[in-house]
Amino acid sequence: MIRLSISESARLFGVSTKTIRQAIKQGQIGYVVVRNRYKLSFESVLKWSQTGTRRSNKLANEGIGQFVDNWKISNRKYSPNPKLINPQSK
């Protein structure tokens, strides 16, 4: 299980720490307390981030989603063969 701090969650999902703390207070995000610090379940934060359109957009535009285009493989030598991925596209 992946656990995140409040500040890590805020940066990853493109929201403020105040927003994360409000979601914790409302019981929308699962957490445990380790050495007097909240450790949030990545899975619960991800589910929470998808519950509203505004949060989904923040994830895509201000959170980790803004880097997805940079991760795409542009070198054809290392790109997956579309025929192997979708055998019906012959």
pLDDT digits (tens, 9 = 90+) for 45-58: 989 988 888 888 88
- What gap in Å lies between CA 25 and CA 41, rounded to an integer? 15
Tell which wins on pLDDT, 43 or 69: 43
Question: What would the CATH number be for the domain defined by 3-78?
Answer: 1.10.1660
Considering the entire predicted model, what is its pTM? 0.68
Q: Residue 76 pairs with which residues in a beta bridge?
A: none
Question: Going along the chain, which residue ranges are E strands?
Answer: 3-4, 31-34, 37-41
Cβ pair 10, 22 in contact under 8 A: no
For the chain, percent of residues with pLDDT exceeding 70: 78
Q: Residue 38 pairs with which residues in a beta bridge?
A: 33
DSSP 8-state assignment for residue 89: G
